[in-house]
Amino acid sequence: MTQRFKDQVAVVTGAANGIGLGIAQRIASEGGKGAMWDIEASKLKDSVSAMEKEGRIVKGYLVDVSDEGQVQEACATVAQDFGKIDVLAHAAGIVGPTQIRVTDYPTHDFDQIYRVNLRGSFLVCKYVLPYMESNGYGRIVLIASIAGKEGNPMMAGYSATKAGVIGLVKGLGKEYAKDNITVNGIAPAVIKTPMNAATGPEQLKYMTAKIPMDRLGTVEETAALAAWVLSKEASFNTGFIFDLSGGRATY
């Protein structure tokens, strides 16, 4: 394994589980120090201690990414604990209601998915970026979704908020293009993670049937792409949404 993140500090959100955990493991296995953020206290504790047992340098932080005060404070604490922030991998997200027409979609659920998926993405960038600017270097990856590019029916909140994340990536990529800071996104189709347990079976069938490779993606495949985009090697890519869809995406 290469050591692309040696001497670097990475904030990884949604790091207790699924894609976030996979990215945290990959970065730490390549020499990076990991600040692992999540709201699930016990799962976070388990994931952090499992990685510590493997000799990784990681620390867990209980942070709700939709809460501005918590995000701001957590960034300051990470910078204090590790000295700087080089990398942000933002994977915290929720799926919200599925298999439901917009006319029946509860508005409070829409408000909640907006708060976590879109407002959370805005907040983590807003408060991490000053540390990257003062450091003169940064790599950001936001996990969007193919639902944001194509729009998945019967999950209005998820499709809309992930489209918002894509807009955020495109805008911020250009905003920081001359600052040695890149901001990119990844748009996965269905990846095998605990999140899918919250997706209705008909909805899951619809999404999986659209994948030409006829299988789900894996956390390891997602982490491999994220690690490249977050590495120094990816120096001429910004404001871009990378595909991870087994052939589903056509643009």
Ligand X SMILES: NC(=O)c1ccc[n+]([C@@H]2O[C@H](COP(=O)([O-])OP(=O)(O)OC[C@H]3O[C@@H](n4cnc5c(N)ncnc54)[C@H](O)[C@@H]3O)[C@@H](O)[C@H]2O)c1
The sheet with strand 87-90 has its strands ordered as 58-62, 33-38, 9-13, 87-90, 138-143, 181-188, 241-244
Contact region with ligand X (CB under 6 A), list: 27-35, 86-94, 133-141, 169-177:
86-94
Which residues, 6 or more positions from 55, have their beta carbon under 8 angstroms from its beta carbon? none
Which residue of 8, 11, 14, 163 would you call a contact of ligand X, by CB under 6 A?
14
- Smallest gap from Cβ 179 to ligand X, in A, equals 25
- Evaluate whether 187 touches 241 at the Cβ level (below 8 Å): yes
Q: Choose which of 25, 193, 231, 245 interacts with ligand X (CB under 6 A).
A: 193
Which of 195, 208, 218, 239 contacts ligand X by CB under 6 A? 195
Rounded to the nearest whole angstrom, what is the least distance from the CB of residue 61 to ligand X in the complex?
Answer: 10
**Mask 90-109, x = binds ligand X (CB under 6 A)?**
-xxxx---------------
Residue selected from 23, 65, 78, 163 as contacting ligand X according to rule CB under 6 A: 65
Site of tokens 């945290």: 24
Q: Are 115 and 167 in contact (CB under 8 A)?
A: no
> Which has the closest alpha carbon to 91: 170, 149, 6, 23?
23
Q: Can you give the binding site for ligand X, defined by CB under 6 A?
A: 13-14, 16-20, 37-40, 63-66, 91-94, 116, 120, 143, 145, 188, 190-191, 193-196
